[in-house]
Amino acid sequence: MNSTELNAIARLLVAPGKGILAADESTPTITKRFKALDIPCTEETRRAYRETLFTTPGLSEFISGVILYDETIRQKGQDGRSFVDVLRKEEIIPGIKVDKGAKPLAQFTGDKITEGLDGLRERLTEYRNLGARFTKWRAVISIGEHLPTVAALRANAHALGRFAALSQEAGLVPIVEPEILMDGDHTIDQCACTTELALKIVFDELFQQRVGFEQMLLKPNMVLAGKDCRRQPDALEIAEKTLRCLLRTVPSAVPGIVFLSGGQTDVQATENLNAINKIGGAPWQLSFSFGRALQSPALQAWKGSDENIHAAQEALFNRAKFNSLARYGHYFNDLEKETETTGV
């Protein structure tokens, strides 16, 4: 796969009106999500839930790609087709999470480092043969007293660079995800400073490791106040500070920025994406790669029962549609009420 083909995939993933569904929760993470709703977590319930999501009628109108987990990329729908084939048939591009999660960074209490580089070249070859066309690696950064350290930002950026270079070598488009967490009582301005510093270091590392900017996507957090901060900014302030931070740090050669939702409610994430796109004038596509903000209402509707498949699919369809509207700044909150009253 040459650089033109990789660039074409990156651009398809951020095609107008479309975004990415992150359905790559690790088994421990999805176990937590299921447990909160009293849904038993087995390989079969995880498979059934993901099948419900992936077979949502009309999903490809708003969803360009789905990020899968190692277990999921090997699973099949009830009709015997692999999930990769189910998605491809709908012209949805399959992707894969390839990191192995964040661990404590030695000597730096409170900082984390994402692992998974050992054997990555071989795993990437296997995932590509299974049908994946893009990859994701998430670095986790906390704001706290004296955190994050520059050492942790550098270590994570280095791993993101190694991952991205190896992905491109294997013919896969890397989604580079440095996530500043919302946990804590930090202000939006602290988040802005930390996000700007993290992205500066990440792009410096990507450049040094010869990652092609045209052949990748960035998956950042929005610039937000910590969950426990007393002053919660409105969507316009979030949008302005997010965009300012990205304009200062992200090369315009990158085709798209796909935000994570990071613990915002589904409605907040859509409102903020909408406000960001309303400002306009950005050199990249500004889209979404939400996990919880796309899936939460669907999981709540499904509840682990076949009877609720239709309701779960409607819930996912609606969230995908609202986020698609938010890509143009055309979303407004009254749409939520319309779906509540009509049940559409």
Mark the segment that binds ligand 13P (CB under 6 A) among 37-45, 141-149, 210-218, 288-296: 288-296
User: Of 191, 194, 176, which Cα lies nearest the Cα of 257?
Assistant: 176
The residue whose two tokens read 């999981």 is 299
Helix (H, G, I), strand (E, B) or coil at 298: helix
The residue whose two tokens read 């996507």 is 217
Q: Do 132 and 68 meet the contact criterion of CB atoms below 8 Å apart?
A: yes
Quick one: which of 102, 170, 254, 260 contacts ligand 13P (CB under 6 A)? 260
219 is catalytic: yes
| Residue ranges in 119-158 that form contacts with ligand 13P under rule CB under 6 A | 138
Question: What is the contact mask toward ligand 13P in residues 165 to 194, using x (rule: CB under 6 A)?
Answer: ------------x-----------------
The H or E element that residue 46 is part of is helix 43-54
Could you tell me how many residues of this chain bind ligand 13P (CB under 6 A)?
Answer: 10
Q: Virtual CA dihedral for 312, 309, 291, 165, nearest 10 degrees?
A: -150
User: Per rule CB under 6 A, is residue 292 in the interface with ligand 13P?
Assistant: yes
Mark the segment that binds ligand 13P (CB under 6 A) among 113-121, 229-237, 249-257, 291-299: 291-299
Mark the segment that binds ligand 13P (CB under 6 A) among 9-17, 118-126, 256-264, 301-309: 256-264
User: Per rule CB under 6 A, is residue 258 in the interface with ligand 13P?
Assistant: no
Distance of CA 122 to the CA centre of its chain: 24
- What lies within 8 Å, CB to CB, of 111 at 6+ separation is 104, 105, 141, 142, 147, 148, 149, 151, 152
Considering the candidates 136, 219, 241, 321, report the single residue annotated as catalytic: 219
Q: Do 296 and 23 meet the contact criterion of CB atoms below 8 Å apart?
A: no
User: Per rule CB under 6 A, is residue 262 in the interface with ligand 13P?
Assistant: yes
Quick one: which of 254, 273, 293, 320 contacts ligand 13P (CB under 6 A)? 293
177 is catalytic: yes
- Can you give the binding site for ligand 13P, defined by CB under 6 A? 22, 138, 177, 260-262, 290-293
